């Protein structure tokens, strides 16, 4: 399939999951509204916030396709719910506090011709607490066994693929990786674009729980690839991460900031 005329442009579903992040929620909504691409369906799934989130959703209710505010079983349950509410052909998850890198991201990707694929992914920008921004470039899918080679905010996923491989609630930390690697193992087709798709804050669930996230990835990969290379890689990765977290704990914040800036030079 090739999209190259306006009447064949696909409908893109942007799913935003949020819970008590009213300030960041509005920023995300505005980022979606600013997109120049003409066919976007924005769905917001709020987990029953007790702050001003519902007021903000009501403020934008005429511009948001669908929004709900109710309790759920966690972020991945809410993301599955967003998929169920969507009617488009492609889905991207831009959760509260996440934003598109610029106003033309969706347009730049979906107005170009491309053949039938299941995932379209690119780079993302990380926003650190000290206001420093660093670009993380996406890797290659042959390295997916080592972990995520792109951020889940920087990948567009075919709706049919997500309905076939929904987020597994038994993986509370790495359900996004579980879905992506399972699809990869099933021969899903990935397309890498040299585009910065999203800006995300360095405070996601997998960022905070690095070691459990690695162990979750290890468990997922071993379902498809049981060999010494996988076990050796993840054993080493877990040990290194424990050491890094200890060093990060004892180092002054200013020194950590310098190290991060040096990393992105």
Can you tell me the distance from the alpha carbon of 209 to that of 42, in angstroms, rounded to the nearest whole number?
29
* Gyration radius of the chain's alpha carbons: 19
pLDDT for the residue 153 = 94
**Cα separations in angstroms, 38 against 45, 91, 128, 165, 193:** 22, 15, 31, 28, 20
- Name the β-bridge partners of 136: 124
- Contact call for residues 132 and 257 (beta carbons, < 8 A): yes
Contacts of 90 (CB under 8 A, 6+ apart): 10, 11, 12, 13, 110, 120, 156, 157, 158, 159
How, if at all, do strands 119-127 and 190-201 pair? parallel
Please give the structure tokens belonging to residue 242: 């424990």
**Dihedral sign computed on CA atoms, order 96, 191, 175, 183:** positive
Q: Phi first, then psi: give them for residue 12, nearest 5 degrees.
A: -105, 130
Nearest alpha-carbon partner for 167 in 156, 153, 177: 177
- Contact call for residues 200 and 153 (beta carbons, < 8 A): yes
Can you tell me the distance from the alpha carbon of 154 to that of 152, in angstroms, rounded to the nearest whole number?
5
pLDDT for the residue 133 = 76
The verdict on domain 6-202 having CATH code 3.40.50.300 is no
Average confidence (pLDDT) per 10 residues, the chain, 265 residues: 56 96 94 97 96 96 95 94 96 95 96 89 85 85 96 95 92 90 95 95 61 92 93 94 77 57 54
- Name the β-bridge partners of 13: 41, 91
Domain map (residue ranges) of the chain: 6-202
């Amino acid at each position: 399939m090739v999209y190259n005329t306006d009447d064949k442009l696909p409908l893109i579903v942007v799913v935003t999951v949020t819970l008590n992040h009213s300030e960041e929620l509005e920023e995300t909504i505005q980022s979606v509204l600013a997109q120049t691409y003409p066919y976007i369906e924005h769905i917001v799934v709020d987990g029953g916030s007790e702050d001003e989130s519902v007021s903000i959703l009501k403020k934008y209710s005429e511009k948001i396709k669908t929004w709900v505010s109710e309790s759920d079983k966690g972020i991945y349950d809410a993301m599955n719910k967003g998929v169920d509410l969507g009617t488009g052909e492609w889905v991207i998850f831009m959760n509260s506090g996440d934003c598109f890198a610029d106003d033309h991201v969706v347009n730049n990707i979906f107005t170009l011709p491309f053949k039938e694929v299941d995932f379209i992914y690119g780079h993302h920008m990380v926003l650190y607490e000290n206001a420093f921004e660093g670009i993380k470039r996406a890797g290659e899918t042959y390295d997916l066994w080592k972990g995520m080679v792109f951020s889940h905010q920087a990948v567009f996923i075919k709706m049919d693929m997500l309905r076939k491989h929904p987020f597994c609630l038994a993986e509370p930390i790495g359900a996004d990786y579980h879905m992506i690697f399972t699809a990869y193992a099933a021969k899903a087709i990935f397309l890498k674009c040299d585009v910065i798709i999203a800006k995300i804050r360095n405070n996601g669930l997998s960022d905070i729980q690095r070691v459990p996230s690695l162990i979750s990835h290890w468990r997922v990969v071993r379902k498809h690839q049981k060999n010494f290379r996988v076990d050796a890689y993840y054993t080493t990765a877990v040990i290194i991460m424990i050491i890094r977290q200890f060093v990060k704990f004892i180092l002054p914040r200013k020194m950590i900031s310098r190290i991060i800036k040096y990393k992105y030079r």
